[in-house]
């Protein structure tokens, strides 16, 4: 009997060592790169090409698809399941036993393998969702008298009155489920105008993005922007166009969901979208070996955060919920809200006061501020999949409220690039000069951002450049076509002015060697122009 028990124990220990692992397999090269770049319509839609040209974004190696011959061969490898792929990273997400995955490094087209389990291999790292939306699923009965608050708070109502409701702006929504969006009365206007452009379920690999009814979170998120019920509810961008991408598997927490998200972002880029809204965040997984720590939230660790940064580089404005961990031991923003290149949105209540659940900035975000800004997250008005208007808590709703508002703003100031529109929104924040880890730069005033952008466009065409950036000792300024002295100031990210001087001429220098490493703001202005830049001191 003891002998059999011993055998069982040995078998169980052996089985524990043979658990399924997730990993990214990074490939060495791509096929037909030169031909693809010479004929960009073979890899991107014309809308995507036009958007990149308009914003000065180059089409590069990252836009070329993964070599499908390599993907097909990986699928044939013993014990390996291919779950997702990324052209931006030239990588494939696989699942299998550790030994089977490690054997992939012997393939001539594999550069290296990165395990999601940080205890395996030398390159590993990966992340979670946001508490399964526990906070956000608490519905409260509708009170119509307050529905305008979340719109008026960011002054998008004035844009609507002026006829700017997001028309011409395309938004991709990455979320966990969109049941009934194709039938609900709240989205009838969207469908009638041909602005519901379709989507894809990356979890179940199907075009029917509405079939998954396990979560209505995406439906509620979309309602903040796109819903329209006469006399009852108006989203912040009811006339924008939308793609819906399901990337979150609510049945489990696994790193593959980050890979699904990056796949969706790549699809959005190829379709030429202007903005991405995502109310997902990752910190913890079912397998604790995959978990992140707050110190990892620096935009450089999580696969999804690095993917979101590339999306921004590709000319997409990425708007992300900060997270709902403010009242937990974690506290700080999750991934991808930690990326310095995305617009992370925290939360306030109807009075504009910080709500305790909204994730905060943290020590990991060195040289940049998180959240960037805030909007209403406390008892926001949303529409459920049964077409009922309810109130939910969560930064999942402050992000789309603001995302739709920015779409309406961008319709009016189409000359702004994604970086410029983001900066305009941040600079319109109620506490732009004195940001903190709770509200970031505060509540944006989109009407003010619009007026400032239009005023600046009327200035003479002054060309300003600063370099090098990052800088160590001396920051160079070059200002062309300026005919009068201009005031220059340098502020740290707490709003303290460190340098102020009036300058003349085309070329000038500022000695920054005495300042501590970090992120700073440089402002140059006179009657001809008013420009603010961010620069980093190394």
Catalytic residues: 175, 217, 396
**How, if at all, do strands 474-480 and 507-511 pair?**
antiparallel
- For the chain, the residue count is 538
Report d(CA 114, CA 263) in Å as an integer: 18
- Taking 3-state DSSP, the helix, strand and coil percentages for the chain, each rounded to the nearest 5, stand at 30, 25, 45
Report d(CA 240, CA 512) in Å as an integer: 44
The label of the residue with tokens 């979670």 reads 128
Taking the alpha carbons of 85, 91, 93, 99 in that order, is the dihedral positive or negative?
Answer: positive
Report d(CA 40, CA 346) in Å as an integer: 38
DSSP, collapsed to helix, strand or coil, labels residue 440 as: strand
**How, if at all, do strands 518-525 and 486-492 pair?**
antiparallel
DSSP state, residue 448: H
360 touches 346 (CB < 8 A):
yes
Contacts for 241 with CB less than 8 Å, ≥ 6 apart = 168, 169, 170, 171, 195, 196, 197
Report d(CA 280, CA 243) in Å as an integer: 16
**What's the distance, CA 182 to chain centroid?**
25
78, two tokens: 């013993």
Neighbours of 296 (CB within 10 A): 22
Work out the angle at residue 27's Cα, subtended by the Cα atoms of residues 25 and 28, and round it to the nearest 5 degrees. Answer: 150
Report d(CA 21, CA 160) in Å as an integer: 50
Which DSSP helix (H) or strand (E) runs through 276? Answer: strand 275-278
41, two tokens: 């319509």
């Amino acid at each position: 009997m003891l002998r059999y028990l011993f055998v069982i124990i040995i078998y169980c220990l052996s089985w524990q060592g043979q658990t399924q692992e997730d990993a990214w397999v990074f490939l060495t090269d791509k096929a037909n790169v030169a031909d693809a770049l010479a004929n960009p319509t073979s890899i991107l839609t014309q809308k995507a090409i036009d958007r990149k040209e308009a914003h000065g974004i180059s089409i590069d190696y990252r836009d070329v698809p993964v070599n499908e011959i390599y993907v097909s061969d990986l699928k044939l490898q013993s014990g390996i399941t291919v779950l997702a792929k990324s052209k931006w990273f030239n990588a494939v997400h696989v699942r299998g036993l550790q030994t089977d995955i490690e054997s992939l490094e012997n393939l001539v087209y594999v550069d290296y393998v990165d395990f999601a389990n940080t205890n395996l291999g030398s390159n590993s790292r990966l992340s979670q969702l946001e508490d399964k939306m526990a906070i956000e699923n608490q519905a409260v009965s509708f009170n119509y008298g307050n529905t305008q608050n979340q719109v008026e708070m960011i002054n998008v109502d004035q844009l609507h009155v002026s006829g700017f409701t997001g028309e011409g702006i395309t938004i991709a929504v990455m979320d966990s489920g969109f049941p009934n969006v194709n039938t609900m009365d709240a989205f009838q206007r969207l469908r009638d105008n041909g602005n519901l452009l379709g989507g894809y379920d990356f979890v179940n690999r199907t075009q029917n993005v509405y079939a998954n009814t396990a979560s209505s979170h995406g439906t509620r998120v979309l309602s903040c922007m796109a819903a329209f019920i006469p006399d009852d509810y108006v989203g912040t961008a009811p006339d924008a166009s939308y793609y819906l991408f399901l990337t979150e598997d609510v049945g489990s927490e696994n790193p593959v969901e980050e890979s699904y998200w990056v796949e969706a972002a790549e699809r959005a880029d190829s379709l030429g979208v202007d903005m991405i809204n995502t109310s997902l965040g990752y910190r913890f997984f079912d397998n604790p070996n995959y978990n992140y720590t707050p110190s990892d939230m620096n935009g450089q660790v999580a696969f999804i955060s690095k993917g979101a940064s590339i999306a921004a580089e590709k000319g997409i404005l990425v708007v992300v919920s900060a997270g709902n961990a403010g009242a937990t031991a974690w506290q700080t923003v999750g991934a991808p809200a930690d990326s310095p290149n995305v617009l992370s949105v925290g939360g306030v209540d109807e009075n504009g006061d910080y709500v305790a659940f909204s994730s905060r900035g943290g020590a990991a975000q060195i040289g940049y501020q998180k959240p960037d800004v805030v909007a209403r997250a406390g008892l926001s008005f949303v529409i459920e999949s049964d077409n009922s208007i309810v109130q939910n808590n969560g930064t999942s709703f402050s992000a789309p409220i603001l995302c739709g508002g920015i779409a309406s703003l961008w319709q009016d100031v189409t000359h702004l690039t994604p970086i410029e529109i983001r900066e305009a929104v941040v600079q319109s924040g109620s506490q732009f000069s004195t940001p903190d880890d709770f509200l970031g730069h505060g509540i944006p005033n989109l009407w003010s951002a619009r007026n400032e952008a239009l005023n600046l466009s009327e200035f003479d065409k002054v060309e300003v450049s600063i370099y090098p950036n990052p800088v160590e000792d001396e920051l160079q300024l070059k200002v062309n076509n300026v005919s009068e002295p201009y005031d220059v100031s340098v502020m740290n990210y707490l709003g303290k002015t460190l340098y102020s001087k009036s300058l003349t001429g085309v070329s000038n220098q500022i000695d920054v060697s005495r300042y501590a490493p970090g992120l700073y703001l440089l402002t140059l202005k006179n009657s001809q122009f008013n420009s603010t830049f961010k620069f980093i001191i190394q």
